[in-house]
Chain A
Amino acid sequence: MKALPYLVLLSILPAVSQDAGAPSKESLERTQSKRPYSPYADRSFPSRPFFGDTHLHTGFSMDAGAFGCTLTPRDALRFARGEQVTASSGQPAKLSRPLDFLVVADHSDNMGFFPDLFAGKPEILAQPMGRKWYDMIRDGKGAEAALDIIGQFSQGTFPEELMYAPGSLPYKNAWQETIDAAEHYNEPGRFTAFIGYEWTSLDKGNNLHRNVIFRDDGDKASQVVPFTCTPPMGSNNPRDLWKWMASYEEKTGGSVLAIAHNGNLSNGTMFPLVESFGKKLDANYAEERARWERLYEVTQTKGDGEAHPFLSPNDEFADFETWDKGNLDGSEAKTNGMLAGEYARSALKSGLKLQTELGTNPYKFGLVGSSDAHTGLAAMEEENFFGKTTPQEPSPERMLAKFMSNPKTGVTIYDWEVGASGYAAVWADENTRASIWDAMQRKETYATTGSRMIVRFFGGWDFEEADAHTRNPAFAGYAKGVPMGGDLSAAPAGKSATFIVAALKDPIGANLDRIQVVKGWLDASGELQEKVFDAVWSGDRQPGADGKVPAVGSTVDVENATWTNTIGSPELITVWKDPDFDPKLKAFYYLRVLEIPTPRWTAYDAKRLGSKPLEGTRMTLQERAYTSPIWYNP
């Protein structure tokens, strides 16, 4: 099946958004636990996804500040909305195109001061005015209290006794400032500024971070303080984070979800198989993890976490922006045995097995990409990359230094290995907190490594080639099946799973090489299996004897950092049928979309800034997208 030029893709109904208010959490849970055959049949659907970053740090994060980042959440939001800002290094910075949403996710630990007022510091409570403010905040009137405080201060009526108490000075703590910035820049219909934070759990140098995202506005979010990691106030055990999340929802009636950080620096602890923090995995662990951790950050500046060549030796595209030398601080070197516990594909597979043991699949996550930049700048395009940290903002030296070097273990990572990746794409009905959050909750998302291609993926039992040829493949997709992130069950007798598989290039980016279907399953003997299928590709290439479509070639001129769209295809679409479908076996399917090769940020730097790359520096790459899986549960 090759790309047929006359095919029509991703048709657009007039952009009608009739989603008056989002579905309640309860109703969503109902749909998810007992999904009707096609819950989307009557739904209006969007014509393009929203692109954003769910993981951006600003100078409010202690480490970002220590690196020299001076930008605040407001600067970050302005930049994401497409406005020009001055980077911490003094350079003007602007995105080629605005993003649709942003989560400023600063580290919860050391996020400014613990709000003493909030916690009722004794000196404050002893004073009537302090007591009043404390009660106001307790009653969810934090903003009013803050205004009152400022007012009293300006009029010289601020109680003298309170002058001593650090928490009562008329500046806001970092959490309140973060909430205020998001409230200020959130513009429903145009740009969504989520309230969020990063719970930065580090267990013996292993990265177990989670980004926590609120569906709610500041009135609810400001009733709590972010969960921290340092005992006894906080904990670095995810089970405790989930408890915090549950109590937030209980207390405020709000909604919150967590996105697990790319696990590639967790040394196998992101997706445990046997035990976690000394406690055996049980049904409760599986249920809670599946409930709270809806998405997984599969690609970001610190490497790509979809697949690893050791785990997937037959996958020639598995070795992409790989960081596999050690954990977050390089204190422990990586061994092959750790890899299965930290790459997305293997975790999706393990989940199938754990589901049979524990009753619930703990690793049933959707996929997003995000930056984890510590610059306040979500700038993840190869030719407009502002680095991971402030010292990595554009300069002739930035690809010559070491990102990390631990002399004890010999773990060294060079700055050129940092990737200009990625973004989260979300198929939401409208650009609002509620709508985007709900789409994240139902996993209708995909990850990109920085490009903005449009990817569609639907699973069902009755898709036919003609569905790819209609004006509205998405209409057929929603009417006869489920989108990415959904579930198929109860295969009709004699039917195989079918899928609409489609992608359109980024309008300012490179053509597409191919779309692959990645399938994982638990076979009849209880072994986990995986296979990568080329579903549709550009040109008239023929699969070789090994069944693989040959490489698309390259037009990249590294020296001049250019390429041409003379190979590849602007769009690819097909209906793909699983040739090996077995209705008795649990399985998942997701798409990997590959662009043709293009210059990597290092090539642009070498050309524009005259840097001389270190030996071994990668200068080209194939940008890609990974969709959330569709699961088959017999």
Chain B
Amino acid sequence: MIPRLLKEPFVHFVAIGAVLFALYQTKERLAPEEEVEDKDRIVIDQQEYDHLKELWKIQWKRDPSPGDIKALLDRHLRQEVFYREALKMNLDHNDEIIKKRLSQKMEAVANDLSALTQPPTDERLMAFFHDNDDFFKLPRSYQFQQVLFLANETDVDARLQSTLGTLRQGGGIPADRVSKAGLKCDWPLTSVHDLDNAFGGDFTRSLEEAPLNEWSGPIRSGFGWHLVRITTRQDSVLPDFETVRDYVAREYDYRSEMESQDRVFEELLGKYRVNITAADVPAEIKSNFVAP
């Protein structure tokens, strides 16, 4: 039970929060008296100054001139003064941008927790791969030849039929049809996704019904009409795990981080009593957030 608990993102989450809180409290308590009281002091000691200069140098790749240093300190103090005053006036509260930024940070923490608690081990990846085999299957592929007749050619029907006849009798592809419109005639084994991309229209759907190893058609694409001869039709298959390992790992990371975010959210939401009193929120939506 305990080890499992230690792997729960939420437990980490709460633990980190508690540690931070405790440390912060301790620091407050142990700080020298005058520092606690003198909240309106802004100190720029050597370290702080070096830090500011370093930030500046990261951008400009040279040492700041005296004018730059003046501007640097001016900017720093302006920001610090406004920041502190804004905090005193609670201007950070209910600021949409600050809210978003802080919630993004929490999501980032949840993501890191996901990597800590569910590292992509071989077993996990393999299980994930098989649980989602539909997702990882390679699409159907075809190896084929095609001859194109553009949609706006004259006498296209007669030309199609005469060429089909020639091809069926073992004739070659007519010279003026080779690489017509830049589309090659011989296609190596190519997935339907790539074929959709290259041909458009209903081309790949029509390939499903075309016979193997004989010239047939015409079938339609985004460019016009095609005579086709399919030499290989390969059905959708699950690839060898090792060949797609990186892809599986990426998908696994993404989905476990999404899950981790959801779980952290659900757990934290449990700490709050959400009360939706607005009358016109549909009940089925309310029930998502409000405990019955």
A interface residues with partner B (beta carbon < 8 Å): 5-6, 8-12, 14, 47-48, 59, 62, 65-66, 74, 78, 82, 97-98, 114, 116, 118-123, 125-126, 150, 153-154, 160, 163-164, 169-172, 177, 184-185, 187, 224-225, 227-228, 230-234, 240, 243-244, 247, 251, 454, 471-472, 474, 504-509, 511, 538, 565, 569-571
Contacts and interface: CB of A to CB of B under 8 A. Distances in A.
Contacts of A164: 23-24, 27
A511 B224 CA distance: 11
Interface string B62-105: 00100010011001000000000000000000001100110011
A497 to B, nearest CB: 24
A472 B51 contact: no
Contacts of A62: 97
A5 B96 CA distance: 59
B176 interface: yes
Given A65-B100, A471-B178, A565-B151, 8 more contacts: A6-B176, A65-B104, A169-B109, A177-B108, A233-B56, A505-B222, A507-B198, A571-B150
B176 A8 contact: yes
B112 A163 contact: no
A118 B184 CA distance: 52
Given A8-B176, A251-B61, A570-B181, A97 B19 contact: no
Contact of B200 (A11, A163, A506): A506
A185 B177 CA distance: 39
**Shortest Cβ-Cβ A-B pairs, 9 listed:** A10-B182, A122-B47, A507-B200, A507-B222, A508-B200, A232-B71, A171-B108, A247-B61, A11-B179
B273 to A, nearest CB: 25
Contacts of A9: 181-182
B97 A244 contact: no
A45 to B, nearest CB: 12
A38 B232 CA distance: 41
B20 A163 contact: yes
Contacts of B100: 59, 65-66
B222 A119 contact: no
B197 interface: yes
Interface string B12-36: 0000000110011001000000000
Contacts of B54: 119-120
A507 B27 contact: no
B188 to A, nearest CB: 9
| Interface residues of chain B: helix, strand, loop or mixed (majority) | helix
A231 B97 CA distance: 22
B181 A504 contact: yes
A78 B58 CA distance: 32
Nearest to A147: B115
B152 interface: yes
A508 B112 contact: no
27 contacts: A5-B153, A6-B176, A8-B179, A8-B180, A8-B181, A11-B179, A47-B184, A65-B97, A66-B97, A97-B196, A98-B197, A116-B51, A153-B116, A170-B112, A171-B111, A177-B108, A184-B253, A185-B250, A187-B247, A243-B60, A244-B61, A504-B181, A505-B222, A506-B200, A511-B152, A569-B152, A570-B151
Interface in B102-150: 104-105, 108-109, 111-112, 115-116, 150
B58 A119 contact: yes
A557 B154 CA distance: 26
Interface of B: 19-20, 23-24, 27, 45, 47-48, 50-51, 54-56, 58-61, 64, 68, 71-72, 75, 96-97, 100-101, 104-105, 108-109, 111-112, 115-116, 150-154, 176, 178-184, 193, 196-201, 221-224, 247, 250, 253-254
Contacts of A6: 176
Nearest to A510: B222
A90 B59 CA distance: 38
B148 to A, nearest CB: 9
A10 B176 CA distance: 14
Contacts of B111: 171
A609 B222 CA distance: 27
B222 A506 contact: yes
A98 B191 CA distance: 14
Nearest to A51: B197
Given A119-B55, A122-B48, A507-B201, A570 B61 contact: no
Contacts of B151: 565, 570
A216 B81 CA distance: 40
A506 B111 CA distance: 40
Contacts of A243: 60-61
B163 to A, nearest CB: 14
Contacts of A471: 178-179
A150 B115 contact: yes
Contacts of B150: 5, 569-571
Given A118-B58, A231-B75, A505-B223, A47 B182 contact: yes
Contacts of A169: 109
Given A185-B250, A227-B59, A171 B105 contact: yes
Contacts of B59: 225, 227-228, 233-234, 244
A240 B62 CA distance: 12
A565 B222 CA distance: 10
B275 to A, nearest CB: 23
B256 to A, nearest CB: 13
Contacts of B222: 505-509, 570
Nearest to A251: B61
B194 to A, nearest CB: 10
B48 A160 contact: no
A454 B182 contact: yes
A36 B47 CA distance: 56
A241 B153 CA distance: 53
Contact of B250 (A184, A569, A571): A184
Contacts of A153: 116
A495 to B, nearest CB: 28
A456 B55 CA distance: 47
A122 B19 CA distance: 22
Contacts of A233: 55-56, 59, 72, 75
B23 to A, nearest CB: 5
A598 B111 CA distance: 44
B68 to A, nearest CB: 6
